[in-house]
């Protein structure tokens, strides 16, 4: 039996490095160089092998994604994607942020991954307004899931209560829309 899109989505509050999934997504920088925030947490848990694997990749443009093993993480893989630094929203930021989600999902599909967890990309150091970022993330993921069977399951892993509340509200809206159709 095919699961509905909403059954394939989950919102969690917590630390993405603890999740036992096929892949977690990292909010990386263009050089794939060690950073703070979620990137720092992922590197600390994965061990120095991840730094070496990232160095070998030689960077990643904004909106694109790259995959490495998860090394010492419970997740098998890390998909690194680079969000846009938010200026005023008129510099292509929405399209670039959507591309991060779509390209990460594409890599997950190409690698046969069944479960994938996202942090709230670009909403930390890169300054993307949380509410707008949440709308883009949920729309990109639901659009993808409508047309693809992999990944089977997508988790939005919110580190902050504010993000968790926004995602819950957003998915509730989607639920209402789905049941009204």
Q: State the residues that interact with ligand ADP by CB under 6 A.
A: 15-17, 27, 37-39, 41, 83, 119-126, 157, 159-160, 163
Minimum gap (Å) between residue 52 Cβ and ligand ADP: 21
Query: Residues 7, 15, 39, 143: which is the catalytic one?
Result: 39
Catalytic annotation present for 39: yes
On the CB side of 83, CA atoms within 13 Å amount to 28
Query: 12-28 b/e with 16+ CB inside 10 Å = b?
Result: beeebbebebbbbbbbb
The residue (of 34 and 69) whose beta carbon lies closer to ligand ADP is: 34
In this complex, which beta carbon is closest to ligand ADP, that of residue 165 or of residue 175? 165
**22: nearest Cα among 54, 63, 66, 69:** 69
The smaller minimum CB distance to ligand ADP, of residues 22 and 39, is found at 39
What DSSP element (H or E) covers 81?
strand 77-82
Active site residues: 39
């Amino acid at each position: 039996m095919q699961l509905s899109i909403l059954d394939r989505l989950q919102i969690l509050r917590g630390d993405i490095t603890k999740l036992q999934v096929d892949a977690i997504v990292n909010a990386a920088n263009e050089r794939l160089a060690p950073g703070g925030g979620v990137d720092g947490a992922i590197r600390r848990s994965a061990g120095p092998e991840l730094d070496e694997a990232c160095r070998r990749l030689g960077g990643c443009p904004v909106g694109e994604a790259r995959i490495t093993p998860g090394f010492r993480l419970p997740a098998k893989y890390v998909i690194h994607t680079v969000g846009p630094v938010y200026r005023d929203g008129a510099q292509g930021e929405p399209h670039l942020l959507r591309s991060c989600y779509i390209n990460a999902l594409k890599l997950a599909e190409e690698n046969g991954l069944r479960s994938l967890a996202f942090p709230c990309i670009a909403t930390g150091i890169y300054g993307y307004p949380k509410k707008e970022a949440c709308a883009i993330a949920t729309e990109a993921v639901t659009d993808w899931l409508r047309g693809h069977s992999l990944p089977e399951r997508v988790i939005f892993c919110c580190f902050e209560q504010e993000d968790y509340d926004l995602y819950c509200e957003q998915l509730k809206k989607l639920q209402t829309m789905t049941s009204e159709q």
